[in-house]
Amino acid sequence: MVRVKSRYLLCEINVSDRRDLLKLDDRAVAGSVKAAVARTHGDYGAALCSIRFCVKYLNAHTGIVFLRFHKGCYKLLWSALPFITSIECRGQIIPCFLNCLHVGGTIRTCQKFLIRYNTRQLHQMLPKYKNKEEKRKIQEAILSCSLTGGGNKALEDELESEEEDDE
Amino acid sequence: MSVFMDLNVLFSADRSRLQSLVETAAHLGFSTVAINYVFEPTTKKKQEVPSPVPISELIGQLPVVQGRSRPIKVLNRLTVVMSEASHFRPNTTEYRAFDLLAIQPTTEKLFHTTCMLCDVDIICISVTEKLPFFFKRAPINGAIDRGVVFEVSYASALRDSTMRRYTIANAVCLMESCKGKNVIVSSAAEKALELRGPYDIINLGALFGLSDADSKEAVSSTCRAVLLHAETRKTASGIVYTRISQQDTLQDCVGSEAPAAKRPKPT
């Protein structure tokens, strides 16, 4: 039984200014990862990157990105990720850094982790909000987190609106 | 779940920058952060050792660490960059105000003296220039026996390609001589964007020549060993420490964790 195995890296893009996050798109992120790998590991790294690398998912509101790598070389390519200092998108340079949260073998495990992580973020945000209406919204979002049933989508909407309120 | 620490965050006079740095560190998952004051004494003029600003003045509300329920701990640290042994006087009162002490030696003789004799916690390996001296096994083993750790910082590697080469070269040299023991990796971050998450740093350790387990230790248990070592400096050979109680009388307390601190790895 031969099954093609990959590693999915769940990363979070941290920027200093939240509004810059919305300008990102997956091709820009892919381009900057390839450039960083080429800078750090040269032609060998660039070649490894072209095997099975792609950006599987990017959420511009929360800055979460799923990167897929080939299982044999993901460690080497992962070691080049800390050297990313900015992402260039449509002519604008956005200073940021990538923080890896989880490594999984499938997208499903990464999604499960992401749901737990987002729930924790909402829990942390809960004491900051004094307004009863907003507290109720966050509590509803926490309760509706689940793998099936589109709970994840509701989370992202909540996160986005909460973070906009935060400013 | 292990405790991750970043023991080198450069001090800057800008309060908001420090605050955003600490908040980012808490968001990334670091449980402890040490604010580093760099002091470079020269023989020409007598310079004042910078005194640490109390933490409560710097940052109002300490943010909670991601994934835990405790707020982040912030400590003070002093790094002395020196080329002569006479610059360092360990018993002055100014040094006592800092939680951690570090030395960055610039000559081989001084490196030897620091490893064997000086009463410090951390020896910084410079990353911004090619090392002027080679590491020898003898002083490094002496330092490991005493519980002193070597520190490699990675922020300059993020800025410039030549710095990256120096960092990796110096780090690989160090790992060869010390076999991966008693090493910590920390950022010397000036801005919040120069910090990196703990798992990313563990992977970076693999680039420096550390094995996976050693790399993880470099960010967690060795850092904790440094903190314990620093506490024992204030005590009498690590067994007894005194604390002034509210009635202004001295009380003797026995620190039970202290004997383990002399050995970096608990057996």
- What ipTM was reported for this prediction? 0.80
Say if residue A119's pLDDT is above 80: yes
CA distance, residue A136 to nearest chain B CA (Å): 22
Query: Kind of pairing, strands A92-104 and A64-70?
Result: unpaired
**A16 at the B interface (CB within 8 A)?**
yes
What residues of A are in contact with residue B203 (Cβ under 8 Å)?
75, 78-79, 82, 100
Which has more pLDDT, A139 or B136? B136
Identity of the residue in B66, B158, B197 whose CB atom sits nearest the CB atom of A85: B158
How many whole angstroms separate alpha carbon B225 and alpha carbon B236?
Answer: 18
Per-residue pLDDT, B44: 53
Residue-wise pLDDT tens digits, A55-65 = 988 888 888 99
* CB-count burial class (<10 Å; 0-12, 13-18, 19+) for B56: exposed
**A127 at the B interface (CB within 8 A)?**
no
Residue-wise pLDDT tens digits, B177-212 = 888 888 999 888 888 888 998 899 999 888 888 888
Say if residue A167's pLDDT is above 60: no
Pick from B20-29, B41-50, B98-107, B206-215: least confident = B41-50
**A78 at the B interface (CB within 8 A)?**
yes
**A146 at the B interface (CB within 8 A)?**
no
Confidence of residue A8 (pLDDT cuts 50, 70, 90): very high
**A29 at the B interface (CB within 8 A)?**
no
Say if residue A165's pLDDT is above 50: no
Residue with structure tokens 């030549």? B162
| Chain mean pLDDT for chain B | 79
**A98 at the B interface (CB within 8 A)?**
yes
Average pLDDT over residues B225-246: 71
Chain pair A-B, CB pairs under 8 angstroms: 51
- Contacts of residue A3, Cβ cutoff 8 Å, sequence gap at least 6: none
Contact assignment for B206 to A100 by CB distance below 8 Å: no
Per-residue pLDDT, B63: 76
Which has more pLDDT, B49 or B199? B199
Per-residue pLDDT, A38: 92
Third-level CATH fold of A6-105: Alpha-Beta Plaits (3.30.70)
Is residue B171 helix, strand or coil?
A: helix
Contact assignment for B193 to A78 by CB distance below 8 Å: no
Tokens of B211: 């094995």
Residue-wise pLDDT tens digits, A35-49 = 999 998 999 999 988
**A14 at the B interface (CB within 8 A)?**
yes
CA distance, residue A149 to nearest chain B CA (Å): 26
Average pLDDT over residues B91-98: 69
How many whole angstroms separate alpha carbon B239 and alpha carbon B258?
Answer: 6
Average pLDDT over residues B235-263: 51
Per-residue pLDDT, B248: 44
Residue of B19, B193, B201 to mutate for A, most A C-beta atoms under 10 A: B193
Is residue B230 helix, strand or coil?
A: helix
What residues of A are in contact with residue B67 (Cβ under 8 Å)?
120
pTM above threshold 0.95:
no
Residue of A87, A102, A124 to mutate for B, most B C-beta atoms under 10 A: A124
